Structures are given as structure tokens and as C-alpha cells.
Amino acid sequence: MTRPRLVFENEKILVFQQQLGEWDNLNHLIVCRTTNNACIIDPFDGKYWHEFCQSENYSLAEIWLTHSHWDHTKGVEELLQISSSQIKVRCHFLEQERGYQQDDVIWWHHEEFSSINQQIGVVSFSIHCTPGHTPGHVTIIGNGIVVTGDCLFLGRCGRTDLFGGNQSKQRKSLLYLRGFLLELDTSYVVLPGHQYELSDGSNPTVLNLSEFMANNEALNSIDDDSEWNSLPFLSFDDNLAEQARRQRARNS
């Protein structure tokens, strides 16, 4: 088994990252160093993360979903089936608007553009509801890391033309998040849900916060209507967009 890469550590947490699947999904495992309790965010491959945690004697206690697209939830069922312990699955209840249902999910119920605290082991993170890519997308901030899922990638933001997406709410989410990010220490690192090439041709999977804020095209366009509306990655003319149109028609 290829080991995941240790992309961040401090006195409180370890963060491992691994790219999995044909969509270049970036999975992140957060480990509380005090308790060895671990949380996997958006597992693509349940067996992979189960085996890694077993090999390191980490107790995989929780699954946090930034949103409910299949490539971010694919490994949930397998993890629940093969684990000998009770793993808690958490997701925002607004994801039910796009039809996501999973037995025994513990739903976060806070409002859009607000946050609650969530603990793994003895460390706490703020869970921000940042809709736009999906209705109940969340961004996870704390202890030196920002896990953005598909709300923000390192150079841009997630598309808004899939079922449950909303371009106006995406812009509001980025405005909301920017206020928090500007208050963070620049030693924080940003961990996205997918790897995409930046405009300068580089292709990182993690960036420090200062580089991220300086170079993210979406964040740098939110104050100007013309720039925002001309961003090429908010929507695409592809099969996924056509599926979303059909799904919206069925639900109207």
C-alpha cells in the first residue's frame, strides 16, 4: 500500500493526504496526537484508510463530509462495514436537498454562512456552512489547516452548475470565508478536495495561506461583478451539466 503523505503537523495534530480515484480526489486524515483518534474527510477508498489507520494504531473515530457528491462519499459504506468500532459520520443537513441520505448520519444543522465547533479527540475545528457548489457544503478551519473540499481549490473555486449548486451562494460563501481567512495566521495551510493546475503551471496539493490568498482567481474576483461572472470554471458544457439539467427538470 502506498502510504499517504504527511502534509502538516504541529503539537496537536497530524494531517495525512492521499490522492485517490480517477477524479484526482484529495483525501485528508486528521489525527489528534493526544488521543490517537482520527477523522477522515471525504473518504474515496474505505479499505485504504482502514488499513492505514490499523497500521499506525490510529483509532478512526469519525468521517466528516464536506459535501455529498459521490466521489467524496464513495468510501463511507465500506469503512462502516469493515470497521470493528462505531464510526460517526457527519454531514450538513442541507445536503438532503440534493437527495443525499445515509443511515445513521449525524447532521450538522447550523445556518448558511455560519459555523459550529466540532471535536476530534481533544482538538476542535470550526465547521463553516459554505453553500454554492452544493447546498450544504462545509469548510473546516482550525489548528493550522483550512480544508476547503470543493468550495475552493488552490487556484479557483468549485463549479456551481451541478444539481444543488448556486452561483450566487458560492460568491457569498467566498466573501464570508475571506473574512475568516484574513484573520488567520499566515502559517496556516490550505487543503483542497481536488488537485488542479494553477495559472503559473504548477500543480501543488497544498499551499500556505498567504500564497493561496494572493493567487486564487475566484477569491480575487468576488468584488467585481464583471470579473466574477466571466470566470470560466463556474460552469461547464459537459455531461455532468446535462445530468444536472435533467435532474432539476425532474424535481421542478
What does the pLDDT profile of the chain (252 residues) look like in tens digits?
A: 799 999 999 999 999 999 999 888 999 999 999 999 999 999 999 999 999 999 999 999 999 999 999 999 999 999 999 998 899 999 999 999 999 998 889 999 999 999 999 999 999 999 999 999 999 999 999 999 999 999 999 999 999 999 999 999 999 999 999 999 999 999 999 999 999 999 899 999 999 999 999 999 999 999 999 999 999 999 987 777 567 567 766 776
Domain-by-domain residue ranges, the chain?
A: 5-251
What grid cell was written down for 43? Answer: 473518504
Q: How far apart are CA 206 and CA 190, in angstroms?
A: 6
5-251 homologous superfamily: Ribonuclease Z/Hydroxyacylglutathione hydrolase-like (3.60.15.10)
User: Residue 89, exposed/middle/buried by CB under 10 A (0-12, 13-18, 19+)?
Assistant: buried
CA dihedral 34, 204, 18, 15 (to 10 degrees): 0
Task: Using alpha carbons, select from 195, 180, 194 the residue that is nearest to residue 141.
Answer: 180
Instruction: Give 125's contacts (C-beta < 8 A, 6+ positions apart).
Output: 117, 118, 119, 140, 141, 142, 143
Task: Using alpha carbons, select from 107, 109, 108, 159 the residue that is nearest to residue 133.
Answer: 159
What grid cell was written down for 105? Answer: 448520519
pLDDT of residue 85: 85
3-state secondary structure of 220: helix
